[in-house]
Chains A and B, each alone.
Chain A
């Protein structure tokens, strides 16, 4: 299919699903300035998304298993410090300052470092082949992808989030400085969440509120069904989760030349309020039951394909966290910006891939170009001061 010729929206003809109403809707509560570092799960999974984030994928270059253990210990020490804050002890005349000083003499804390590992870490290098999480594999190529190998995969991924961009960059510099011999950056993308305009869920760079419908993170049993690692996982992986990252460029110039009603039909929601086309406010749930042929919310619309809200598709729901990115300008003089799409789930195949397959050839594909990302397993949390990330895996 040619990428530049848009697919026309087909007013629905196909049969309809049952109107199962699932998922919370509306703006999430604000994220606290700082999250507790120690816990069963990593704090950066269920917390409301932070305003600033960096996703940094690394190749692990530690020479052996002991080197990998040292690396994970160092990452843990740094992450703990960056979360709690404090003042590094003075160096005297023994070396350059330990801290970049980007945040001033006292590090306020509040940076949340979330650590995940890719399938390649479980190759022959560190003797971990028999401990791979059950559903971890390299990211697949999907219809309409234009993946650049330099922007895909990785042995280890850090999601570094904070209220302010300087905190994210400070944390990244701190961690990289301490781990140069153990890992090297493979790709990195910075993302941000816009302020609500004017209210409700923040907007993506297509101008639509993005993040409205999501599983309820305060519902423990829903999280156990949809997010946290489930049956069939190796023992060490309990309390972890899978993270999918998809780097998706938006062809914003093209998008801005499309009529409002076509844009809204593509998503199935109003651009101004974020309300489903079947409702009037953002928190209204889309009603597919009363609209079996898609005359209100087209059957090909993004939200209807992504989550048909049927009993059969309920277990494929994902916890989405989208961030805007902005990478400058391409050779054609067009802006390079888009979405760092991420989602947490219990099983990548059952959830993300099933959703992505339902979205294949949706009308929106003509305005986006997925170019990178990867599949990762978010390690279980660090329960106490004497424990490090991945200890039950490598220890």
Chain B
């Protein structure tokens, strides 16, 4: 089968804790775009030979004596099972630092920046309710806010909403793909070329659900990459295959089986979708990955098979991303201070695209427009990326 959207990461299966997101405990994004300069101050070196803080099901948080500011403590898992370790604010539960999957017997450094307040260490071992260690008071000026973890429960509403959007979108997709197929069958390739774009865009707008579509995604919208015979490979099917034929002078007779299969695959997808599940982790991940694809495939011209509909694809990807940010908005408002920059980034891209209508091939854009387009997408995708980390569901109880 042809390869699917290569940028869409596969969710890591390996984590010891079922809901562990594919994210390593990170480091703070220093304020960009004119915000406060980062503190060039050195992180204090790992605590010199002090007794490590204990994590695991017994004595979670024992030995932890934090102070205000930037600090690194060694954490040891004295239990027999791997544990997640978090530094949480009490009572808000906001997470300030995290070690994922600390193996039994292992010691690892954990770095946090704390302001004045009450904190505790929380240990999460699989199949056991998370254990919160003793509450410790830190004296000092206020520090970074931390993020209140998103739970699977928090994502239930967004997931339901998004599933509804996909269900409606699939209906549109089926209708438009049927029109496309009918035009090909009727031998009206001019009409088929006009019908191709709306049908393909209907698929692009479902960008966050590709994971749930499984193999169908490759059949419907795969590219010829990885196929031994490239565009001539029988495994190359779907929208891109049809695009290739429609814009490379292939006959209706040649293309009818391609269109038939595409219409059948799309219809089957609509039928099977209610029985499949969008992974809640996908919501956050796809918030930036739809545009990672745009950056990698569309803006390079790499995905095009002749229709040169790159700008329309960028616009449809923006629709798809807007929908995702929309369903996640409630979850994000209290957790992502730069959400307004996501909105202004989306607005900037939208107005740029509006100014480029009627859309022409990407390759014929004046260089200044191309730079603005690349920059607007690049800026937006940077601002969308934290959503994946913030919206990775975590267990809190």
Residues on A lying within 8 angstroms of B by beta carbon are 59, 61, 63, 69-71, 73-74, 77, 80-81, 84-99, 105-106, 177-184, 186
- Determine the distance from Cα of A94 to Cα of B25 in the docked complex, in whole angstroms: 9
Measured CB to CB, the nearest residue on chain B to A76 is B37
Query: Which of B40, B144, B372 interacts with A85 by CB under 8 Å?
Result: B40
Is the contact region of chain A dominated by helix, strand, or loop, or is it mixed? loop
A91 touches B375 (CB 8 A): no
Given contacts A77-B37, A180-B375, A184-B374, contact A91 B70 (CB under 8 A): no
A182 touches B386 (CB 8 A): no
- Determine the distance from Cα of A97 to Cα of B385 in the docked complex, in whole angstroms: 10
Interface membership of chain B positions 18-44, coded 1 if the CB is closer than 8 angstroms to chain A and 0 otherwise: 000001111111101110011111110
Q: Does B378 contact A (CB under 8 A)?
A: yes
Given contacts A74-B32, A86-B41, contact A181 B345 (CB under 8 A): yes
Measured CB to CB, the nearest residue on chain A to B143 is A89
- Determine the distance from Cα of A97 to Cα of B70 in the docked complex, in whole angstroms: 16
Given contacts A81-B37, A86-B38, A93-B98, contact A181 B112 (CB under 8 A): no
Q: Which of A98, A99, A181, A183 has the largest number of chain B CB atoms within 10 A?
A: A181
A182 touches B43 (CB 8 A): no
**A-B contact list, 17 entries, CB within 8 Å:** A70-B34, A74-B33, A81-B30, A86-B38, A86-B39, A88-B27, A89-B27, A90-B25, A90-B113, A91-B26, A92-B147, A93-B23, A93-B394, A94-B146, A94-B390, A95-B28, A98-B29
Q: Does B124 contact A (CB under 8 A)?
A: no
B38 touches A77 (CB 8 A): yes
Measured CB to CB, the nearest residue on chain A to B44 is A87
- Determine the distance from Cα of A89 to Cα of B369 in the docked complex, in whole angstroms: 36
Residues of A within 8 A of B388 (CB): 96
Q: Does B255 contact A (CB under 8 A)?
A: no
Query: Which of A70, A85, A89, A183 interacts with B70 by CB under 8 Å?
Result: A89
Q: Does B174 contact A (CB under 8 A)?
A: no
Residues on B lying within 8 angstroms of A by beta carbon are 23-30, 32-34, 37-43, 70, 95-98, 111-113, 144, 146-147, 149, 335-336, 345, 348, 367-368, 371-372, 374-376, 378-379, 382, 385-386, 388-390, 392, 394
A93 touches B390 (CB 8 A): yes
Measured CB to CB, the nearest residue on chain B to A176 is B378
Residues of B within 8 A of A86 (CB): 38-43
- Determine the distance from Cα of A82 to Cα of B371 in the docked complex, in whole angstroms: 26
Query: Which of B112, B147, B394 interacts with A94 by CB under 8 Å?
Result: B147
B376 touches A181 (CB 8 A): yes
Measured CB to CB, the nearest residue on chain A to B344 is A181
Residues of B within 8 A of A71 (CB): 33-34
Measured CB to CB, the nearest residue on chain A to B150 is A93
Measured CB to CB, the nearest residue on chain A to B41 is A86
B384 CB to nearest A CB, Å = 10
B317 CB to nearest A CB, Å = 17
Query: Which of B95, B375, B392 interacts with A92 by CB under 8 Å?
Result: B95
- Determine the distance from Cα of A179 to Cα of B41 in the docked complex, in whole angstroms: 23
B375 touches A184 (CB 8 A): yes
Residues of B within 8 A of A63 (CB): 348
Query: Which of B29, B40, B379, B389 interacts with A93 by CB under 8 Å?
Result: B389
- Determine the distance from Cα of A184 to Cα of B352 in the docked complex, in whole angstroms: 16
Q: Which of B30, B367, B374 has the largest number of chain A CB atoms within 10 A?
A: B30
B380 CB to nearest A CB, Å = 8
B375 touches A182 (CB 8 A): yes
A70 touches B33 (CB 8 A): yes
B38 touches A90 (CB 8 A): no
Residues of A within 8 A of B25 (CB): 90-93
A364 CB to nearest B CB, Å = 33
Residues of A within 8 A of B28 (CB): 88-92, 94-95, 98
A87 touches B42 (CB 8 A): yes
A70 CB to nearest B CB, Å = 4
Given contacts A59-B368, A178-B32, contact A89 B39 (CB under 8 A): yes
A102 CB to nearest B CB, Å = 13
Residues of A within 8 A of B38 (CB): 77, 81, 86, 88-89, 98
Measured CB to CB, the nearest residue on chain A to B98 is A93
A94 touches B389 (CB 8 A): yes
- Determine the distance from Cα of A87 to Cα of B146 in the docked complex, in whole angstroms: 19
Query: Which of A69, A85, A93, A183 interacts with B34 by CB under 8 Å?
Result: A69
B147 touches A98 (CB 8 A): no
- Determine the distance from Cα of A97 to Cα of B144 in the docked complex, in whole angstroms: 16
Residues of A within 8 A of B375 (CB): 61, 180-184
B371 touches A106 (CB 8 A): no
A92 touches B378 (CB 8 A): no
B43 touches A87 (CB 8 A): yes
Residues of B within 8 A of A184 (CB): 371-372, 374-375, 378
B40 touches A81 (CB 8 A): yes
Given contacts A69-B34, A77-B30, A90-B111, 5 further A-B contacts (CB under 8 A): A92-B97, A93-B389, A94-B390, A98-B26, A180-B379
Measured CB to CB, the nearest residue on chain A to B381 is A180
Measured CB to CB, the nearest residue on chain B to A91 is B26
- Determine the distance from Cα of A69 to Cα of B34 in the docked complex, in whole angstroms: 8
- Determine the distance from Cα of A180 to Cα of B382 in the docked complex, in whole angstroms: 8
B27 touches A98 (CB 8 A): yes
- Determine the distance from Cα of A199 to Cα of B303 in the docked complex, in whole angstroms: 52
- Determine the distance from Cα of A106 to Cα of B335 in the docked complex, in whole angstroms: 28
- Determine the distance from Cα of A307 to Cα of B166 in the docked complex, in whole angstroms: 72
Measured CB to CB, the nearest residue on chain A to B386 is A95
B374 touches A177 (CB 8 A): no
Residues of A within 8 A of B39 (CB): 86, 89
B30 touches A88 (CB 8 A): yes
Measured CB to CB, the nearest residue on chain B to A186 is B371
B42 touches A106 (CB 8 A): yes
Given contacts A90-B28, A91-B27, contact A177 B382 (CB under 8 A): yes
Residues of A within 8 A of B144 (CB): 89, 92
B375 CB to nearest A CB, Å = 4
Which 3 A/B pairs are nearest by Cβ-Cβ distance? A181-B379, A95-B386, A91-B26
- Determine the distance from Cα of A85 to Cα of B39 in the docked complex, in whole angstroms: 10
B389 touches A95 (CB 8 A): yes
A85 CB to nearest B CB, Å = 7
A96 touches B385 (CB 8 A): yes
Residues of A within 8 A of B371 (CB): 59, 61, 184, 186
B331 CB to nearest A CB, Å = 13
- Determine the distance from Cα of A73 to Cα of B29 in the docked complex, in whole angstroms: 16
A95 touches B40 (CB 8 A): no
B89 CB to nearest A CB, Å = 11
Residues of B within 8 A of A69 (CB): 34
Residues of A within 8 A of B41 (CB): 86-87
A169 CB to nearest B CB, Å = 18
B48 CB to nearest A CB, Å = 17
A94 touches B32 (CB 8 A): no
- Determine the distance from Cα of A87 to Cα of B45 in the docked complex, in whole angstroms: 11
